[in-house]
């Protein structure tokens, strides 16, 4: 039941992410080259590309986990400067941008409930009760309400990743970033995480997703971006990119990943 | 002669009340010094991993100096040397506490550094990406995990420092060994008294070991 970008996104609204001619180097390595990317409210953007092409680096620039050297970047109306280190602006952006990691990165010393309530309590200064109610509602929504008092190590990978999703959603973000959220999961657990993400997309969350799950990408994406050696060399609707890729590198990449 | 093989249990037990007078000093110097050493260790351990060069190098210098010199020399320096600089005497107990503090502080700095650095990078990234500040990420995410991993090494340092206080008999602190020496001077029962001294150290260090093991087991919940 995919809605088109035109239906759920308002093209006149201010974009949540605006990247212009963004360049990023790791020492000698030029990892991101003149990236132009805007993400509109409500849009679901999926980034695909080979290993080492710069997908992770790209989405980690959006919440300042990586700094960049040249170009313009604003997120939720706040400008992130090149060479930007820790700053108040960066922290404000991070409270509005949630992230789900490949390795879950749950806090192992905290219960599931405390994982989800930590940031609302310490950043948003929510009361304990308030934060707990929100957490229970979110855990319910991702289908693990009954695990609230367990510790991360007592959960399966799929459950852990759904807790990580609830933890990010507890901050009521305007934008969610996903860096290969299912790549560390056993095959039988991938579905439950994708289901939770699907529901989030249906509810209108703005999402930028790095994934190798091409069927999922085709289903939820409003726009698919193919990145090759740090450059965006193709983008369009899933139908355009998957069924009729223009660039031969995209064609060869897709022929490799879609045959499996 | 059979007299050299005679172990006098009565003399051994008789020495205990006298030796026990040394225990408060042993405990005061070791735990007082370790408490200060722990604070030093947190501060210098974190400075040691600071990305800022001029914060890092004083920490490195401190650690190398106090880890690289004997605690006996440190206490002699503090007790006999520092008064020449300060212009007034330092009492022996304070000198002992100070020596344990600076010495254990150097080792604990390295324990803190190792503990903090052992936490996966993803933990910090997860904290920051939730909007927690650097300081709150450290306080609520990194430190509780690092501290748990530090417990065995901290316990080790505690035991080493408790035993180090035995050296402070040389500056006349009335701790366990010093009490033993005084008692032997009048009774000539070195074998019995030193055995009791050794046993009393064992009681202290085993108690600490046990307490730490319980703390560790508690910490294991949820790992
Ligand atoms: N911290 C770093 N220091 C130096 N080089 C790095 C660093 N992180 C990534 N790189 C390099 O930057 C390039 C892009 O890495 P990135 O992780 O963004 O790729 P990716 O597209 O996410 O790959 P994958 O699909 O394997 O996750 C790679 O060549 C990688 O080796
Ligand atoms: Mg990656």
Give the model's pLDDT for residue B221.
47
Are B112 and B146 spatial neighbours (Cβ–Cβ below 8 Å)?
A: yes
Chain A contact for B141, CB < 8 A? Answer: yes
Chain A residues inside the 8 Å CB shell of B129: 63, 65, 94, 97-99, 168
Chain A contact for B125, CB < 8 A? Answer: yes
N-terminal to C-terminal alpha carbon distance within chain B: 61
Q: Which residue of A has its CA nearest to B120?
A: A105
Comparing CA positions, the residue from A78, A199, A172 lying closest to residue A116 is: A172
Chain B residues inside the 8 Å CB shell of A208: none
Phi, psi of B168 (to 5 degrees): -80, 0
Q: Do strands A175-179 and A206-210 pair parallel, antiparallel, or not at all (unpaired)?
A: parallel
Chain A residues inside the 8 Å CB shell of B135: none
Query: Is it the case that residue A6 has pLDDT exceeding 50?
Result: no
Give the model's pLDDT for residue A258.
81
Expressed in angstroms and rounded, the spacing between residue A53 Cα and the centre of ligand 1 is 7
Task: Give A244→chain B minimum CA distance, Å.
Answer: 36
Atom 28 in ligand 1: residue holding the nearest Cα: A52
The packing angle between helices B92-117 and B53-67, to 10°, is: 130
pLDDT tier at A23, thresholds 50, 70, 90: very high
Task: Give B126→chain A minimum CA distance, Å.
Answer: 6
Give the model's pLDDT for residue A257.
86
Write the residue in A94, A109, A118 that is nearest to B129 by C-beta.
Answer: A94
| pLDDT, tens only, B50-71 | 999 999 999 999 999 999 999 9
Task: Give A137→chain B minimum CA distance, Å.
Answer: 18
Are A207 and A175 spatial neighbours (Cβ–Cβ below 8 Å)?
A: yes
Distance between CA atoms of residues B131 and A91, nearest Å: 5
Helix (H, G, I), strand (E, B) or coil at B188: coil
| pLDDT, tens only, A44-86 | 999 999 999 999 999 999 999 999 999 999 999 999 988 877 7
Query: Is it the case that residue A249 has pLDDT exceeding 90?
Result: yes
- Two tokens, residue A222: 């409003």
H or E element, residue B207:
helix B190-220
Atom 4 in ligand 1: residue holding the nearest Cα: A26
pLDDT tier at A231, thresholds 50, 70, 90: very high
Comparing CA positions, the residue from B67, B60, B103, B96 lying closest to residue B79 is: B96
Q: Which ligand is nearest to the CA of A31?
A: 1
Mind spelling out the 3-state secondary structure of A83-135? Answer: CCCCCHHHHHHHHHEEEECCCCCCCCCCCHHHHHHHHHHHCCCCCHHHHHHHH
| pLDDT, tens only, B2-18 | 555 688 888 889 999 99
> pTM of the predicted model, to two decimals?
0.90
Distance between CA atoms of residues A260 and A203, nearest Å: 31
Q: From the CB of A77, is ligand 1 less than 6 Å away?
A: no
Give the model's pLDDT for residue A11.
62
CB contact under 8 A, A118 and B130: yes
pLDDT tier at A5, thresholds 50, 70, 90: very low
Expressed in angstroms and rounded, the spacing between residue A60 Cα and the centre of ligand 2 is 10
């Amino acid at each position: 039941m995919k809605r088109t970008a035109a239906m759920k996104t308002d093209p006149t609204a201010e974009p949540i992410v605006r990247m212009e001619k963004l360049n990023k180097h790791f020492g000698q390595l030029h990892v991101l080259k003149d990236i132009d990317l805007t993400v509109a409210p409500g849009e679901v953007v999926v980034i695909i590309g080979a290993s080492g092409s710069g997908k992770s680096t790209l989405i980690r620039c959006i919440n300042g986990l990586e700094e960049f050297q040249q170009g313009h970047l604003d997120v939720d109306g706040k400008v992130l400067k090149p060479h930007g280190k820790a700053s108040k602006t960066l922290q404000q952006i991070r409270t509005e941008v949630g992230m789900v990691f490949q390795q879950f990165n749950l806090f192992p010393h905290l219960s599931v409930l405390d994982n989800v309530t930590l940031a609302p309590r310490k950043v948003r200064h929510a009361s304990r009760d308030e934060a707990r109610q929100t957490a229970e509602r979110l855990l319910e929504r991702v289908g693990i309400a009954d695990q609230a008092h367990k510790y991360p190590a007592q959960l399966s990978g799929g459950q852990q990743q759904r807790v990580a999703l609830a933890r990010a959603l507890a901050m009521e973000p305007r934008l969610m970033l996903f860096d290969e959220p299912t790549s560390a999961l056993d095959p039988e657990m991938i579905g439950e995480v994708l289901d939770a993400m699907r529901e989030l997309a249906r509810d209108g969350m703005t999402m930028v997703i790095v994934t190798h799950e091409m069927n999922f990408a085709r289903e939820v994406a409003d726009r698919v971006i193919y990145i090759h050696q740090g450059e965006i060399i193709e983008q369009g609707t899933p139908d355009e990119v998957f069924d009729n890729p223009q660039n031969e590198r995209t064609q060869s990449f897709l022929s490799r990943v879609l045959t499996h | 002669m059979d007299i050299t093989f005679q172990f006098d249990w009565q003399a051994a037990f008789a020495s205990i009340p006298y030796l026990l007078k040394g225990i408060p000093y042993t405990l005061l110097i070791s735990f007082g010094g370790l408490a200060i050493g722990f604070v030093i260790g947190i501060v210098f351990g974190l400075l040691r991993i600071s990305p800022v060069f001029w914060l890092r190098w004083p920490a490195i210098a401190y650690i190398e100096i106090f880890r690289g010199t004997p605690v006996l020399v440190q206490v002699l320096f503090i007790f006999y040397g520092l008064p020449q600089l300060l212009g007034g005497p330092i009492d022996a107990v304070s000198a002992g506490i100070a020596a344990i503090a600076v010495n254990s502080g150097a080792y604990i700095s390295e324990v803190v550094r190792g503990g903090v650095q052992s936490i996966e990078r993803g933990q910090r990234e997860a904290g920051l990406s939730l909007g927690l500040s650097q300081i709150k990420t450290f306080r609520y995410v990194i430190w509780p995990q690092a501290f748990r991993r530090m417990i065995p090494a901290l316990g080790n340092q505690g035991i080493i420092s408790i035993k180090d206080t035995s050296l402070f008999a040389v500056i006349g602190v009335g701790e366990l060994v010093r009490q033993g020496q005084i008692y032997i001077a009048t009774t000539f029962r070195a074998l019995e008294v030193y055995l009791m001294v050794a046993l009393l150290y064992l009681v202290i260090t085993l108690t600490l070991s046990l307490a730490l093991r319980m703390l560790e087991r508690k910490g294991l919940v949820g790992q």
